[in-house]
Amino acid sequence: MTRTALVLGGGGITGVAWTIGVLHGLRLAGTDLTTADLIVGTSAGSVVGAQIAAGTHDLEALYERQLAPPGDERPARLGPAVLFRYARAMLVSRTPEAYGQRIGRYALAAAAGLEAEADRRAVIASRIMVDSWPERALVVTAVDALTGELRAFDRESGVPVVDAVAASCAVPGVWPPVTVEGRKWIDGGMHSPANAQLAAGYDRVVVIAPVGSGSGVVAGPQSQAAALVAGGARVEVVTPGAAAKKAIGHNVLDPGRRAGAARAGVVQGGGVVGVVGVVWGGGP
């Protein structure tokens, strides 16, 4: 029996919008990736993954939601000081765990000046509109702020899905680490933008990654896809094209760019349906 996996990577608020747009565009063109046997979600991808795995939200409605004005939703930013911390930690780290540990220490130290953890959790809950794990296999990634180790939360973890998604979306220096089982967790993208390695063992894999490259010890989706191919899988990676990058802009945490990113995603989804459909549908 052929098993399929959909991997959804991180990329901020605009990453959520673009990913939903791509999925919607693909389905309009005849390829529905929401039927995946496994969904792996990291950061922005965990939001989309929780929504589509639940099966309670129509993809078109999710897309239309991205087109709505941001209202009172406040933009955030990965400022120069935060990016400097990331770059410095990357330069002195030899493994993704070491990098995660250094960034985790920074996240814990910076938390006092950020939004309260409970308030952030409420934002995530309203965003995913899901309060329990789906029956479908869903994996949500986060990084232990103390050890830097990656954890894949699922319905067997005994952790509420909102907490898992909030942990996966806890961008260090922007939003506070999330407490789960007495430990602090940060954004799963600190280990990898997509964590496509978690789809190992599946026959057909599509990776939708708003962040298309890795950096230093942080593996990008293309290198992870190559490893899956070496293991016998058929894999296609979709990353933002030129038009999508322009629509997304420089601040992926700006809700004002959401509608443009979603529209660009629909167009790109329709444009890649041929190559994606071959992988997903079992063509030659």
In the predicted structure, residue 247 carries a pLDDT above the cut 70: yes
| Separation of CA 277 from chain center | 22
Q: Is 72 a catalytic residue?
A: no
Q: Which of 184, 231, 229, 175 lies closest to 206 in space, CA to CA? A: 229
In the predicted structure, residue 181 carries a pLDDT above the cut 60: yes
In the predicted structure, residue 282 carries a pLDDT above the cut 70: no
pLDDT in tens, 86-127: 999 999 999 999 999 999 999 999 999 888 999 999 999 999
Extents of the domains making up the chain: 4-74+114-281
User: Catalytic: which of 43, 46, 168, 192?
Assistant: 43
Lowest mean per-residue pLDDT among 70-84, 135-149, 189-203 = 70-84
Task: Return the CATH number of 4-74+114-281, one of 3.40.50, 3.40.1090, 2.30.30, 3.30.1760.
Answer: 3.40.1090
Q: Is 157 a catalytic residue?
A: no
In the predicted structure, residue 284 carries a pLDDT above the cut 70: no
In the predicted structure, residue 41 carries a pLDDT above the cut 60: yes
User: Catalytic: which of 46, 93, 144, 187?
Assistant: 187
In the predicted structure, residue 33 carries a pLDDT above the cut 80: yes
Higher per-residue confidence, 3 vs 74: 3
Do residues 5 and 204 make contact, with C-beta atoms less than 8 angstroms apart? yes
Q: What's the pTM value of the predicted model, to 2 decimals?
A: 0.96
Higher per-residue confidence, 215 vs 93: 93
